[in-house]
Amino acid sequence: MPDSFTPWVEGLTIGQVLARTVAEYPGNDALVFPALDLRLSYADFDRAVYEAAKGLLALGIEKGQHVAVWATNVPEWVVLQFATARIGVVLVTINPAYRAHELKFVLNQSDCVALFLVDQFKTSDYFAMLADVCPELAHATPGMLESEAFPKLRLVVSLKGATPAGAISWSDLLDQGRTIDAGDLQQAEADTRPGEPINLQYTSGTTGFPKAAMLTHRNLLLNAFYIGDCQKFTAADRICIPVPFYHCFGCVLGTLCAAVRGAAMIIPAEFFQPAATLDAMEKERATALYGVPTMFIAELQDESFAGRDLSSLRTGIMAGSPCPIEVMRQVIDQMGASELTIAYGQTEASPVITQTRTDDPLELRVETVGRPIPDVEVKVVDPASGAELGDNEQGELCTRGHVVMLGYYNNPDATAEAIDADRWLHTGDLCVRLSNGYYRITGRIKDMVIRGGENIYPREIEEFLFTHPDIEQAAVCGVPDVKYVEELCAWIKLKPGAAVSEDDIREFCRENLARYKTPRYIRFVEEFPQTVTGKIQKFKIREKMIEDLNLREQETA
């Protein structure tokens, strides 16, 4: 790619990008939900977005206001994403796994004027949780909610299931939109600018209450453009998206990336299910697949995997956590995704900072997270002094460029901590830059365990444990200890049929690592506490071990 190259999305809003794609590829599949027998061409999708945008205007929702969506992967989610962007309304994405107290936090912190939600998700009753934090809804006139806890919230819209008292349905919104003149919509579009915030993405919440990253049209569109380039996407591609929409993985690398290219968005189910994902890939001839390693592992181990025709699969993205080399080999050899890429980033970076390329050798795709996407600067600094480090020196990864968020909404202190005066975003991730310009993530600064004065990085031990032939997945963290202040704990999931003892694991570590890096506590588990996107929540592992081992006194000593 020449240095003078300018992506065609530069200087445009999301609404303008969709309009151009629709004009160029009106008949291409845009949104496909095989399980719902739903298939919208780009022309169909554009019409749905148009009607929803008019509905928002009819309800009095204006540019710059915040609208929250608390839902699984349903068709209305995607329509709402593009409809809000079209008129400059900021979409606040809420994790479907949130409980009532987390919902209360986000609704209050984000200053939402409207909430769009589904009726339930697995065992979660969304309407009941909303009623718990906002009891005034049951007696409110639809569209005129007055809540003591949420002074700006005035409207609740049901996307699925029976509409609760005080709310309106999605079809009601569309009906009201028919009263809006096309000229009003055009004016709202004309008033929207690329550098304005269009999305509040909450951080994953692996360490407590999340913060809301303010992301602009430009942030998201350039990320969507470049990660598509790294996968060599064209309008002929068909992207299978089993990852959740609420996260950047789903709504930037997934839906927005597809819209930039005129590619198809294939949505297997409301939430990740390995068999449904395989069904969608096979039926719809997916050329790309997204997921975290645990998703790929589940698909490979699904009882229906054998005999599947996945010959259309070429590329995709694996992100979120380290990929064991055996898993990558299986994805390439058994799934056929020979050009699968690895991406690294975070919500505050829209999200991708570095990515491998389709023609990178296997070793680079499992041992590194690639090199920076175009027009993005990356440097490695000493976390203590801030001094820039050279190749093969471990330090904090910092980035600057079009990926960096505007800041955290209503949180200037956290913004100042994350983004320095020169607009470098400090990721909190430890890394090493190799001499070839590729980066290896080595851990989180806050994950570091200090055992008897020795600094230990859990990522190093996890990567080593992955080399054991019987280990499928591992997570390492620190737990309190009277003598050493902290001790290492490892949660390990074995491969099916494996018979390995704790002592076997310890001996394996002692033979290859410094003795102080051998975990004192080892627990064999079938699953890990995770976010919806598959990130392991180590603080929950730590809390569980403190409780089980009665380490509370050591923690507070």
DSSP code of residue 139? G
The confidence score (pLDDT) of residue 212 equals: 96
Q: How many domains does the chain have?
A: 2
User: 534 in a domain, yes or no?
Assistant: yes
Helices (H), 395-513: 412-418, 458-465, 502-510
User: 365 in a domain, yes or no?
Assistant: no
Residues 274 and 302 sit within 8 Å (Cβ to Cβ): yes
User: 545 in a domain, yes or no?
Assistant: yes
The confidence score (pLDDT) of residue 108 equals: 95
User: 230 in a domain, yes or no?
Assistant: no
The confidence score (pLDDT) of residue 557 equals: 36
Query: What's the alpha-carbon Rg for the chain, to the nearest Å?
Result: 24
Domain limits for position 543: 448-556
The confidence score (pLDDT) of residue 236 equals: 98
User: 491 in a domain, yes or no?
Assistant: yes
Residues 224 and 323 sit within 8 Å (Cβ to Cβ): no
Task: Please list the residues that pair with 455 across neighbouring strands.
Answer: 450
Task: Identify the CATH number of the domain in which residue 489 sits.
Answer: 3.30.300.30
User: 85 in a domain, yes or no?
Assistant: yes
Buried b (16+ CB within 10 A) or exposed e, 277-292: bbbbbbebebbbbbbb
The confidence score (pLDDT) of residue 393 equals: 96
Among 146, 173, 202, the domain boundary falls at 202
Interstrand relation of 112-117 and 120-121 (parallel, antiparallel or unpaired): unpaired
**pLDDT tens digits for 483-542?**
787 899 999 999 999 999 999 999 999 888 878 889 999 999 999 998 766 778 888 999
- d(CA 82, CA 504) in angstroms, rounded, equals 53
Residue the block writes with tokens 């229906």: 304
Residue the block writes with tokens 């007696």: 139
**pLDDT tens digits for 173-206?**
999 999 999 999 999 999 999 999 999 999 854 4
Token couple for 443: 């851990």
- d(CA 84, CA 62) in angstroms, rounded, equals 9
CB-side neighbour CA atoms (13 Å) of 221:
25
CB-based contacts of 149, cutoff 8 Å, min separation 6:
104, 107, 108, 133, 134
Token couple for 365: 């795709």
What is the DSSP track for 22-44?
HHH-TTSEEEEEGGGTEEEEHHH
What is the DSSP track for 39-50?
EEEHHHHHHHHH
In the chain, which stretches have pLDDT less than 70? Answer: 1-4, 204-209, 532-533, 553-557
Among 167, 183, 202, the domain boundary falls at 202
The confidence score (pLDDT) of residue 554 equals: 57
What is the DSSP track for 297-354?
HHHHHSTT-TT---TT--EEEE-SSPPPHHHHHHIIIII--TT-EEEEE-GGGSSEEE
Among 165, 186, 202, the domain boundary falls at 202
Buried b (16+ CB within 10 A) or exposed e, 46-72: bebbbbbbbbbbbbebebebbbbbbbb
Token couple for 515: 């003795």
- d(CA 512, CA 517) in angstroms, rounded, equals 10
User: 342 in a domain, yes or no?
Assistant: no
Task: Identify the CATH number of the domain in which residue 184 sits.
Answer: 3.40.50.980
- d(CA 46, CA 394) in angstroms, rounded, equals 47
User: 187 in a domain, yes or no?
Assistant: yes
The confidence score (pLDDT) of residue 1 equals: 53
The confidence score (pLDDT) of residue 515 equals: 82
The confidence score (pLDDT) of residue 553 equals: 55
